[in-house]
Amino acid sequence: MSKNKNPLKDLDLFLKQQAASFVNPTPLSEKIQVETPSEIIQASSSEESILQSVERMLDQNPSALYDMLIEAAEKRQTPERTVLINTALYLKNTRNWKEAIREYWRRKNQG
């Protein structure tokens, strides 16, 4: 492998290309909603607890977090979820990510 090769940059470029081809942005006019202060507080407190849980998992057991992402993404087949699965497999198996991704999809297609 070349010294100048950076797989993270390659993965980042690949993911950006995939996102650009799969995602149709929602117009800003559809995103703007009027929320009451209590709705904002409830949403932010829920998001904070979820965020805190994810941060804790990332610190304590990142492999379990990646497994959870893969399991959630498996529920429905979409191109975006396939990219998420591949990304989680890459992060979980940085040293042999190609083989991990290949083996995952081989097992998935057999069973």
Instruction: Assess whether pLDDT exceeds 60 at residue 20.
Output: yes
pLDDT digits (tens, 9 = 90+) for 45-95: 676 788 888 898 899 999 999 999 999 999 999 999 999 999 999 999 999
Number of domains present in the structure of the chain: 1
Residue with the two structure tokens 């949403």: 43
Query: For the residues 10-16, what does the mean pLDDT come to?
Result: 81
Q: 3 lies in a domain?
A: no
What's the pTM value of the predicted model, to 2 decimals?
Answer: 0.57
Q: 91 lies in a domain?
A: yes
Label each residue of 39-68 as H, E or C. Answer: HHHHHHHHHHHHHHHHHHHHHHCHHHHHHH
- Reduced to 3 DSSP states, what percent helix, strand and coil does the chain have, rounded to the nearest 5? 75, 0, 25
Query: Which residues are CB-neighbours of 79 under 8 A, at least 6 positions away?
Result: 18, 22
Q: Report yes or no: 87 and 11 within 8 Å, Cβ to Cβ.
A: yes
Measured in whole angstroms, the distance separating CA 32 from the mean position of its chain's CA atoms is: 25
Instruction: Find, among 58, 60, 88, the residue nearest to 74 by Cα.
Output: 88
Burial of 11 (0-12, 13-18, 19+ CB in 10 A): middle
Q: 82 lies in a domain?
A: yes
Q: 78 lies in a domain?
A: yes
Q: 86 lies in a domain?
A: yes
